[in-house]
Structure formats: C-alpha cells, structure tokens
A and B are shown apart, each in its own frame.
Chain A
C-alpha cells in the first residue's frame, strides 16, 4: 500500500529543513535525529520515516495529502485565498513572499475534499514549511470552509496539524479570532452528528492546540511529534525550570490522557479507514 502514496511530482519543502547541504542532492539524505545517512529512495519508500531510528520526518501538506488520500481523488478548494497585511506589520509581506517561494505554497494550509479508501471527506493540512504553520486569516478561513463543506455534504472532516507557530502574530487579534472561528465550525459539525478527526504531526503547538487541534472526536498523533501549549522557548522564558524528559511529545500527551493514539505513519491510512467505517461515513459509489 505504501508504494505510490507520494504520487509523481516531487514536492518542495520537506527536505529543505532536514537534509544538510553536504550530502549530494537527491540520492542521499540524513536523519535529523540519529544522523544516519539514508538512501533517499528507500527512505521515501518508507514514507520518509528513518529506516534506522523510526524518526518521522516532516512532510509538506501536498505530500501528506498524496500519502493519505486515494490517488487522484483530492480536489483543492479555496486555493485562491492569500494573506493580506491588515496591521501593516513590519516585514510581513516580505515574509509571505519568501516562505511562499521556498515552500511552493500560497499560505500555511492546503484544503479540499477527496476520498480515503473510498470514503468521501473534507481535509485541511497545515504546513510547518510556511511560517511554521502559524494560523492567520487564510488558514482559519480555509479550515472553517473545509469543515463547513463537510457539514454540508454530510461527510467526516480530517484536520491535520503541522503548526508550530500557533496563532500568527503578524495578524494580531485577527489570528486569535481564527481559533474562535474554526472551533465554531467544528461545533456545528459535531452538532450535525458528523465526525471530526484530528491528526497531530510535528509540530503542533499553542493556538492550534487551544482550538481545532484539540476538538476531534478522535485525536491521533504521529510518533515523536512535539505537541503542546507553548513552545520550548516560551517555557524557558516562563522559568518553568527543568521539564520532564519527553515533555510535550506525542507519547507524553498519550500518557497524560490528552490524545487517543500514537500511530506510525505506515499505519495511518488503516487506522483512519477504521474510524471512517465506524462513523458510518458514506462512501462514494
């Protein structure tokens, strides 16, 4: 099942962060965690999970969608939405341009609808390669619209977080309000008796976790992801002192009852299929 999940096109972004420049482009990559040099083809076949230590590399949103949804089933919606600079925040326009160029994304989210093992669903994925996946107006709007589309079509919605930036500071309070907006849409979806599944990947922090990232019927996480309320830097500033080992990891959150399951990337599709089946999600005939 693993083969072919990534589709044909090579997607920019994922390697940018973790592959050191000393290794010849394309053929080899290095694990950011155990430093093992990996044969790229094998590593990709392994869904970008280190073949030695099991470290789950970050994926781009398009990679994630290609991996999870049925081939050619994904239809992107609201791809025309782009960030404004409502507060004239210094450097924000430039930042959007730079991150857009480097990631090939318009903003930190890709959303649309498709099928997973034949089950129709809405999906939105935030991408840490664009401003750490921080949520501004575009991210909030696209997530709300994806949820609303699911409510309207009476399908489940799958929201996947790769957001380490929380609410996007550069849009001030408007970003904070995206937490309210996305939560409101999910509340309606729940009230309609429909399923919301949250998948937390590395990193998932702050405003995301204090809103839609915590509001699934079921919360899944990939192994070793950083998941928590505030990032490490803020924790240090807040003088928390020594934090326990593995603080804010997927496994930490599982131990403390905050998520339902830690799922290896290779098992994700199967787990999601079971949940969709349980919810009685209508398939596309």
Chain B
C-alpha cells in the first residue's frame, strides 16, 4: 500500500534534515560535499514527483488541508500591493474567518474577499479554523457591493472546511447569509473570479463561490460534503473517509470534467506549501490573464454568461 501523504511528508522532512546537515558540514568544515547534496536533492525531487504526480482524492484532501499551505493573506501579501483590509458587516459583528479589502493587482484595483485559517493556536481560534459565520458572509457581500460601486473586479479566495454551524450562527441566520450571497453574486455588475486555494467545503465555499471564472489550485478540493461526513452517512464509519474521497469527485480534475471549474492552476512540485513564491506567481499569472479576458466582455453579456454557466450544471435523464 502507498504511504499516506502525512507519512510521506514525514519521510521527506527527515530527508530534508539530512540535506541540511550535509550543507552545514560543508559550511562549517569547508568540505565539498556538493555531489552528495545534489544526489540527495535529486532523490527528494524524484520522490516528490512520484508521490505528488498521481495523487488520489484522499491525497488531495490531505494536501489541501495541510496547515503549512499558503492561506489567503499569504497570497495577498505575495500577489497584491497596497492591500487595505476592511472589517465588519455593519450589522452585528466582525468575523476573523473571512477577510477582505481593497488591493492592487499590478496596476489594477480589485476587491478581495476570502476565508482565512490560522497558523498557531491563538490565531486558529481567532479565525475559527476557517469556518466562516454569517457576519463573515455579510461582510464579504458588503465589500463586493463596494467593489461594484466603483466598478472594480472581485476576487474570491475559498479555503474553508465549511460554514460555522454553531448555535449562535444558526441564530444569526447562517443559511440566509450564504443564500443571500449566492443570489446577489449573480447580480453584481463587475467581473468576479473565484479561486479555490485549499479546502472548498460545501455551502461555506459556495457562499463566496459564484463567479465568471472558477479556478482551482492543483492540490485543492471542492466537495459537497467532507469525505469523513460522507463515510459516516454511507457506511456509518467516519474513518472510511479515504474511500469516500474517491467517489465524491472532489478533485480539480473531476470538477473540471463537469464544467464546475474552468481552470486548474499548477502548483510547484510537492505542493504550494513548499514554495509560496512559485505558487503565488502561478496563481497571479492566471488571475491577470483571466481578468484581461473578462474586461473585454460587456456587462450585460457578462451577467448572461454567468447565469448560463451555472444554469447549465447538472446531469440527468430526460424522456420516459
């Protein structure tokens, strides 16, 4: 059996430690060990190529959830300039699991909204592990309307296990906040590009997921339900998530096959977590290219295509 991504990553980490040790020897003792280093580096690339070359749905799930992956604010820092964060939904609160603001992509102003996960314990808590609340979705909508007012395109970064299902969120209308966003995003009169950067968790993802283009990073997932949740329902065993991941069709490739996603954005070898700069560059190129294309389209045509794009999704039999 193939090692899980986690086991594999542990092995790679050991290899990296070894490489670092040899490098240190070279520095400290002035010995030329470059041959050895090159060999080890080659071995590492080889292993990465093999393991990341044909990942399963479950592999993708693990990679997409890797806490070392770049999060929304990492991409913002690496791709945009003059980012100015804007807070609050102007109704009841501020949600750390959803960030947003204005920024420049090259010389063009855009508005950005996206889920935000945290790295350490306190930030994770502040970001609610990326589970956005009604306040987050309403903040996102407020900022998207701001963007529309000034005719700036909108970019949405999706990275959430799902929307927050706490009692408080229920009381504050989590369902309505997502439904409202989906509804309104079909009416926004500016181009929208959606990018799934990590986890595209169901309704929580879709709440900022309507756009003229939907892109997925190579090692992201987009799913109607978490594989573990699916397994708990189908086989009454949450531990069989790996099996569920294969049947749910949650990989970028599958999403593209059904026309749900337009483009898969290449990640550096071994995943975006290995090289933030390369990942950001790859995504930035895709954004710039797609925005340029969308700018050519008249507003009415843009809205019509957006409608048609989602209206056509579905597979069924017709006729008796």
Contacts and interface: CB of A to CB of B under 8 A. Distances in A.
Interface of A: 80-84, 86-91, 136-138, 140-141, 144, 167-169, 171-181, 183-188, 190-191, 206-207, 209-215, 228-230, 234-235, 237-238, 240, 243-244, 247-248, 256-258
B187 A214 contact: no
A226 to B, nearest CB: 12
Contact of B224 (A84, A141, A175, A235): A175
Given A137-B315, A172-B223, A210 B178 contact: yes
Interface string B46-70: 0000000000000000000000000
A138 B316 contact: yes
A187 B317 contact: no
A176 B206 contact: yes
Interface of B: 163, 165-167, 169-176, 178-180, 182-184, 186-187, 202-203, 206-207, 209-210, 222-225, 229-230, 232-234, 238, 247-250, 254-255, 258, 260, 307, 310-311, 313-320
A211 B182 contact: yes
28 contacts: A81-B318, A82-B316, A87-B248, A90-B247, A137-B315, A140-B314, A144-B311, A169-B230, A169-B234, A171-B315, A173-B249, A173-B250, A177-B313, A181-B311, A184-B182, A184-B183, A187-B186, A210-B178, A211-B203, A214-B175, A215-B179, A228-B170, A229-B163, A229-B169, A234-B165, A238-B165, A240-B165, A240-B167
Contacts, number: 178
Contacts of B318: 80-81
A184 B311 contact: yes
Best-buried of A174, A228, A229 by chain B (most CB within 10 Å): A229
Contact of A180 (B175, B182, B255): B182
B233 A169 contact: yes
A102 to B, nearest CB: 19
Contacts of A247: 167, 170
A38 B175 CA distance: 36
B269 to A, nearest CB: 27
Nearest to A188: B307
A153 B237 CA distance: 48
4 shortest interchain CB distances as A-B pairs: A137-B314, A209-B175, A214-B179, A86-B315
A166 B256 CA distance: 23
